[in-house]
Structure 1
Amino acid sequence: MSSLKLRPKPLTHKNDPLAIIRTRQDTHGRPVTIAGPMVRYSKLPFRQVCRKYNADIVYTPMILAREFVRNSHARTADLSTNESDTPLIVQVGVNNTTDLLRFVEMVSPFCDGIGINCGCPIKEQVREGIGSALIYNPDLLCEMVSAVKDKYGNLVRLETKIRIHDNWDDTVALCRRLCDAKVDWITIHGRTRTTRSSVPVNLEAIRYIRERISDKRVPVIANGDCFSMADFNRIVEHTGVDGVMAVRGLLENPAVFAGHTKCPWGALELFWHYTVQFGGLPFRLIQHHLHCMLENMGLEKHLHRELMKIKTTAELLDWFDANFELKRKSDAGFGIAVDIPYSTKSNCSEYGMP
Structure 2
Amino acid sequence: MKSKTNVIELFQEAKANLTYVKVCAPMVRYSKVQFRTLVKNFGVDLCFTPMILADSFCQNAKARSNEFVTTTYDTPLVVQFAAKSVDEFLDASKLVYPYVDGVDLNCGCPQRWAMKDGYGCALLSKPELVHNLLRTVRNNFPSNFTVSVKVRILQEVKKTIVMCQQLEKCGIDFMTVHGRTPVQKSGEVIDVDTLKEICDKATIPIIANGGIKTMQDADSLHDVLQCSGIMSASGILNNPALFNGYNKTPLSCIKQWMDLKDKSGDKLTFQCYHHHLVFMLEKILTKKQKQEFNYLSTFESVDNFLYKHIINDCNTMSAKIPVIDDFVICQFDKQITDKHSRKCRGCSKSICYCTCVYYDYDNNNGSYFTSYVKDADELDYMDSSIFEESS
TM score, norm. by length of structure 2: 0.78
Moved more, 122-131 or 314-323: 314-323
| One-letter amino acid of the structure 2 residue matched with residue 141 of structure 1 | V
The CA distance in 2 between the partners of 1:226 and 1:310, in whole Å, is: 30
The CA distance in 2 between the partners of 1:326 and 1:44, in whole Å, is: 27
**Could you report, residue by residue, the CA deviation over 1:56-99 in whole angstroms, capped at 9, with x for unpaired residues?**
10111111111110000111111111111110111111111110
Q: Does 1:270 align with 2:252?
A: no
Are the counterparts in 2 of residues 135 and 163 from structure 1 also a CA contact under 8 Å? no
Note the 1:13-52 alignment, pairs <5 A.
15-27=5-17, 29-52=18-41
The CA distance in 1 between the partners of 2:73 and 2:285, in whole Å, is: 32
The CA distance in 1 between the partners of 2:319 and 2:125, in whole Å, is: 46
* Change in 2 beyond 3 A, CA 1:37/1:186: same
1:352 aligned partner: none
Are the counterparts in 2 of residues 160 and 187 from structure 1 also a CA contact under 8 Å? yes
The CA distance in 2 between the partners of 1:270 and 1:188, in whole Å, is: 31
Give the deviation of 1:324 after TM superposition.
3.4
Q: Does 1:287 align with 2:274?
A: yes
Note the 1:177-256 alignment, pairs <5 A.
177-213=166-202, 216=203, 218-256=204-242
Give the deviation of 1:135 after TM superposition.
2.2
Q: Which runs of 5+ in 1 are unaligned?
A: 9-14, 338-354
Note the 1:66-81 alignment, pairs <5 A.
66-81=55-70
Are the counterparts in 2 of residues 118 and 132 from structure 1 also a CA contact under 8 Å? yes
**Could you report, residue by residue, the CA deviation over 1:326-345 in whole angstroms, capped at 9, with x for unpaired residues?**
67xxx6543379xxxxxxxx
The CA distance in 2 between the partners of 1:16 and 1:78, in whole Å, is: 23
The CA distance in 2 between the partners of 1:181 and 1:115, in whole Å, is: 13
Please state whether the residue corresponding to 2:143 is helix, strand or coil: helix
The CA distance in 2 between the partners of 1:36 and 1:17, in whole Å, is: 15
Q: Which has the higher contact order (CA 8 A, sep 6+)?
A: 2
2:356 aligned partner: none
Are the counterparts in 1 of residues 251 and 317 from structure 2 also a CA contact under 8 Å? no
Note the 1:31-180 alignment, pairs <5 A.
31-180=20-169
Q: 2:318 aligns with which of 335, 338, 344?
A: 335
| One-letter amino acid of the structure 1 residue matched with residue 318 of structure 2 | G
The CA distance in 1 between the partners of 2:10 and 2:143, in whole Å, is: 14
**Aligned pair count?**
319
Give the deviation of 1:208 after TM superposition.
1.7
Are the counterparts in 2 of residues 204 and 238 from structure 1 also a CA contact under 8 Å? no
Are the counterparts in 1 of residues 81 and 104 from structure 2 also a CA contact under 8 Å? yes
